[in-house]
A and B are shown apart, each in its own frame.
Chain A
Amino acid sequence: MSHSQEQMISTDIEQTLKHHEHKNLLRFITCGSLNDGKSTLIGRLLYDSQMLFMDQLVALQNDSRKWSTQEGDIDLALLVDSLAAEREQGNTIDVAYRYFSTDKRKFILADTPGHEQYTRNMITGASSADLAVILIDASQGVLTQTRRHTHLVSLIGIRHVVLAINKMDLVGYSHEVFERIVEDYREFADKLAIENCVAIPISALKGDNIVRPSKAMDWYHGSTLMGYLETVEIDDTRMQRAPFRLPVQWVNHPNPDFRGFSGYVASGTIRPGDRIRVQPLGKESRVTRIVTDEGDLSHAVAGQSITLTLEDEIDISRGSVISTVDAPAEVADQFEARIVWMHEQPLYPGRTYLMKIGTNTINAVITDIKYQINVNTLEHLAADKLDLNGIAVCNIGLDRSIPFDPYELNRDVGGFILIDRLSNNTVGAGMINYALRRAHNIHLQHLDIDKEARSAQKGHKPCVLWFTGLSGSGKSTVANLVEKKLFNLGAHTYLLDGDNVRHGLNRDLGFTTADRVENIRRVAELSKLMVDAGLIVLTAFISPFRSERRMARELLPEGEFIEVFMDTPLEIAEQRDPKGLYKKARRGDLKNFTGIDSPYESPEAAEIRIDTSTLSAEEGADRIIGLLRERGVLNS
């Protein structure tokens, strides 16, 4: 071979390599009902995209003679139905992954089985997919399975669906049949959150609209299936624009001089110099290096496996999540989640499972099955257990707090599996909707008065100072000040802070209306006991509903319930937003937030109103002390 020839080939191949290297990747799943031609479709995609190697074809011809269900032609389905066991069964029994590429894209296809008892496999295949191809047999129309598949696809958060209406050859390539099926489908699918759904009429067997446009369906002017898969826009940098999350996988500490934190970047971007927070500890530091064997990186993005070093020596172990300080993860130990059950042994509330989420494995209990979802009709059903392939919305409690994001914001820190503690099987998968007790939003108030101090009891009357007002109205600040002043006056006090109580007594309660009611009931009862013990009790809860405040008032003898209305216009409270909660609520990340999507009912006859837009905290506290003197609680 001459030098110039070799050079030319070498140049060409290098260009080929570059081209191939810069192709992007589409991961998709195919789902279909039994016998609607899924394996044939996949075989056709592989066959027509000419990625079949010759000897695979030869093997296929041999197999076809032995196993074929098609007379004469090569049976494309045999290309993909692989395990010997399933050949004998005549259907696919598991998730199979296929790899192929065209000039434009690389593809990883998760081939998922259609029949009901293998829903878990579909969820498995779908969990890493960007797009789903849902197959419908044109001669059958929309089936129960179609609804199930669509619901699962929506549940797992796939944003793109291709409705491949197959076997068009069996219905005479009828435009009318196609339109009717699309209409039937949309009626169901429109109820689900699928961003982008496209319907394509195909015949996998005959090759219509797979790779080549169909001559038999000139009424169809859209893309072929392959054409669509090659060009559909997948926003693969979306996670890079989300807040930074690095679940720490492994601490790299080979010698005293190096301590690195390794993990897969679940979202966001990081660069040396960025300030980070380590959760659930809450400690902060700064990134010094992003270390690789090919030299340090100037930045790293979602989708990379990296190793970071930090400025400060912080005790970080597997399970910690590193976030940037501007948008840390939430931390909680109770959640509402959607759960898909994957095991023959049903899920029972109250039983302990292991939950693996990110790099954490913790004990978890399903505290309540709120409702099961009928995946065919989307109806909510009452349930006291969840059987194989059942889907339910549940409350889950953990034995310690973990950092997380809701699943819809971040699959890799909001998705989890449940593991049976005895068999070690993966028995369920779940997706966090939100935290029930928002530990992240609940900053522990530092109490200036300790127990010993309080016990130095002095002569005063007991009562409850019941602070109420919007988040950010200054309840805790003023209540704290009042307690300090009372302490200095020698009073025996106790501050029940909304946040502190939720860490203990009321840890099982969330933020739904029912839970808020129960929260206030318990606080009221507790206050009553403390008043019985002779204390001045200060409570600082939003307590937005009049009826609950009335209930608390009615628990106590006349004159011992003093309602303190922290009157702050919503605009001002929202402007203060000391914990950033309003911002989250406005974004829709925080549900049932008082003032935004949950009402605040102002008191009609509070004992005292503190207008925090005109008064300082100090002035407000003084007025309250003044009132206590007036009412004879304190000796004047």
Chain B
Amino acid sequence: MTDSQSLTHLERLEAESIHIMREVVAETENPVMLYSIGKDSAVMLHLAMKAFYPAKPPFPLLHVDTRWKFREMYAFRDRIAQELGMDLIVYTNPEGVAQGVNPFTHGSELHTHIMKTEALKQALNKYGFDAAIAGARRDEEKSRAKERIFSFRTAQHRWDPKNQRPELWKLYNARKQKGESIRVFPLSNWTELDIWQYIYLKNIPIVPLYFAAERPVVERDGVLIMVDDHRMPLHEGEAPMMRRVRFRTLGCYPLTGAIESTADTLPAIIQEMLLARTSERKGRIIDQDAAASMEKKKQEGYF
């Protein structure tokens, strides 16, 4: 009887992520899963459904809404939450709304700080979540290469890169004082290719914006921005033009660059990615700041 089988890379990643999510549920009091509607969130949610099957994942989804996501993202979010029977909490920073914060007048950095970083802290405090499961990967960005899987935040939600706990084997130390919280990254060891491959293998639904289609865009500083609604202020002489584009990452539509593409199937997307010579986050304008910007954002509480 030979049952021995060499597990594939994806099977190993899947098992690791499931193990991590179960540890969170077993060792924390009030966990939540941050759901950003993108492809990484899609994989994470799929893994959560697996980890606790036949039970539902014993935590709600939290979407920190800046109010500037693509319309297709909102529609997708509501449909998925309903289909899977997951509780979905949508939180928007009320002060940001009151001040009318938006990426056009306030710029990407301030918008992101108030509507994402601050909003997330407010939401975690409001609901008393002591663990937030999020879909960040170590291969996304240089400062994330050293991130722990269980990442500790002070009661002020600050991340101290010099004071993180060693993680050995599969032993995660989830103990914390009252008020402190943990960000947990079950997809830490996945690469962008792994994510796409898994979506393909498991037929996981994703937002249609990832697939190429004719969309109205304007070109600004060499970046194609989709005109997703009437709030987008057009410059003098600027007119939306229809281009066959898709998105490699999804965020606030005014801050997310489209790429010209004909890839309208998963294999085509993966192929395009394999041939691509621009790495994933190039489409995100917020990362084009100083090299250490992400690290600074993380210290402040951004993922």
Contacts and interface: CB of A to CB of B under 8 A. Distances in A.
A303 B170 contact: no
B53 A307 contact: yes
Nearest to B7: A303
A56 interface: yes
20 contacts: A9-B268, A16-B271, A63-B291, A97-B145, A236-B7, A250-B25, A254-B54, A291-B54, A299-B3, A301-B4, A303-B7, A304-B11, A354-B175, A357-B171, A416-B171, A417-B171, A419-B173, A424-B175, A424-B176, A426-B173
A78 B36 CA distance: 31
A271 B12 CA distance: 19
B197 interface: yes
Interface string B135-158: 000110011011000000000000
B266 to A, nearest CB: 9
Contact of A96 (B50, B146, B270): B146
A93 B162 contact: yes
Interface string B192-234: 0100010011000000000000000000000000000000000
Interface string A386-421: 000000000000000000000000011001110100
A102 to B, nearest CB: 13
Contact of B168 (A106, A124, A359): A124
B199 to A, nearest CB: 11
Given A20-B197, A85-B161, 15 more contacts: A1-B262, A24-B6, A53-B279, A84-B291, A108-B189, A124-B166, A237-B6, A250-B26, A263-B19, A293-B53, A303-B7, A303-B11, A354-B175, A424-B173, A425-B173
A101 B3 CA distance: 28
A269 interface: yes
B168 A55 contact: no
Nearest to A53: B279
A343 to B, nearest CB: 9
**Range class of the B interface residue count:** 35 or more
A128 B12 CA distance: 13
A88 B219 CA distance: 38
Interface string B1-37: 0011111111110111011001101100000000000
Most buried by B among A98, A250, A429: A250
Given A1-B262, A254-B56, A415 B267 contact: no
A546 interface: no
Given A83-B295, A262-B22, A237 B175 contact: no
A629 to B, nearest CB: 58
B277 to A, nearest CB: 4
Contact of B53 (A292, A301, A318, A419): A292
Contact of B268 (A10, A95, A424): A10
Interface string A333-356: 000000000100000000000101
Contacts of B25: 250
B268 to A, nearest CB: 7
A99 B191 CA distance: 7
Nearest to A98: B145
B265 interface: yes
Given A97-B189, A252-B52, A252-B55, A271 B171 contact: no
A419 B175 contact: yes
B51 interface: yes
A264 B189 contact: no
B106 interface: no
Most buried by A among B51, B171, B191, B197: B171
B49 interface: yes
> Which are the 4 A-B pairs with shortest beta-carbon distances?
A254-B55, A53-B279, A305-B18, A54-B277
A250 B4 contact: no
B75 interface: no
Contacts of A17: 197, 200, 267, 270
A120 interface: yes
Contacts of B10: 21
B22 A293 contact: no
A303 B12 contact: yes
A82 interface: yes
A12 B176 CA distance: 50
A307 B270 CA distance: 32
A93 B160 CA distance: 13
B278 interface: yes
A408 to B, nearest CB: 14
Contacts of A63: 291
Contacts of B7: 236, 301, 303-304
A264 B170 contact: yes
B3 A301 contact: yes
A9 B265 CA distance: 11
Contacts of B173: 356, 417, 419, 424-426
A316 B292 CA distance: 48
Contacts of B169: 127-128, 411-412, 415
